[in-house]
Chains A and B, each alone.
Chain A
Amino acid sequence: DIQLAQSPSFLSASVGDRVTITCRASQDISNYLAWYQQKPGEAPKLLIYDVFTLQRGVPSRFSGGGSGTEFTLTISGLQAEDFATYFCQQLNVYPLNFGGGTKVEIK
């Protein structure tokens, strides 16, 4: 199985900040990497797939990058509604594992 390690697990930031979350895969997953946002009591919401493709309706302040085993999610200009937990997921091979999550909180 492919393991995904996210860092940091917790991040404290202010509105307007630029934040970057990293996801490292235990082996090459090509470009089959997605990012989700989850708020308490809600299902995860797809933000980005195939490393950098923005899901329809997702604001352009979200961006993804990376390749192979190291990937990033960047939020440029954090908004109040962005405080949530973020998960990466690999879709290269089954099982389609998720990372452990990064909780973004207000400083």
Chain B
Amino acid sequence: QVQMVQSGAEVKKPGSSVKVSCKGSGHTFSSYAINWVRQAPGQGPEWMGRIIPISGTSDHAQNFKGRVSFTADKSTNTAYMELRSLRSEDTAVYYCTRLPNWGSGAFDVWGQGTMLTVSS
């Protein structure tokens, strides 16, 4: 069964950092780019960035201006998203999802989401 399982909910203080994990199973991890999407309460999804595990290449949306980084451990099929200098506006559900490296497609498998609450 193809799935992506994320780490649990987090509560953080403003100015701190969070690292969310996403473990893939049931598929060839290296055939996909792992994308990260967040969704604030009552809002639409926002694309944050991606990492291509087979090459280690990553990029991110300009909105995050270097606050975010993506890593991947091919040996454990796990991707990570770290968000730094947290502020209250970062309160959201964070999802990992996959996109084929080649050919057509879209975000066909999603993690269950990780709720991040940023509050003093």
Mark A residues whose CB is within 8 Å of B: 1, 32, 34, 36, 43-46, 49-50, 53, 55, 87, 89, 91, 94-101
The segment from B10-18, B67-75, B84-92, B99-107 found at the interface with A is B99-107
Contact residue among A55, A91, A95 (Cβ-Cβ distance under 8 Å from B61): A95
Cα-based distance from A28 to B45 in the complex (angstroms):
21
Cα-based distance from A89 to B111 in the complex (angstroms):
18
Asked if A43 and B111 make an inter-chain contact with CB atoms under 8 angstroms apart, the answer reads yes
Asked if A44 and B107 make an inter-chain contact with CB atoms under 8 angstroms apart, the answer reads yes
Interface residues on B, range: 20 to 34
Q: Known: A43-B95, A95-B61. Is A55-B108 also a contact (CB below 8 A)?
A: yes
Mark B residues whose CB is within 8 Å of A: 35, 44-47, 59, 61-62, 95, 97, 99, 104-108, 110-113
Q: Known: A49-B104, A49-B106. Is A99-B111 also a contact (CB below 8 A)?
A: no
- Residues from chain A with Cβ under 8 Å of B61 in the complex: 95
Asked if B108 and A98 make an inter-chain contact with CB atoms under 8 angstroms apart, the answer reads no
Most B CB contacts (10 A, CB to CB) among A32, A43, A53, A101 go to A43
- Residues from chain B with Cβ under 8 Å of A91 in the complex: 99, 106
Cα-based distance from A43 to B95 in the complex (angstroms):
8
Excluding A36-B45, A53-B104, A97-B47, 11 further A-B contacts by CB distance (< 8 Å) are A1-B62, A32-B104, A36-B107, A44-B95, A44-B107, A44-B110, A49-B105, A94-B47, A98-B44, A98-B46, A101-B44
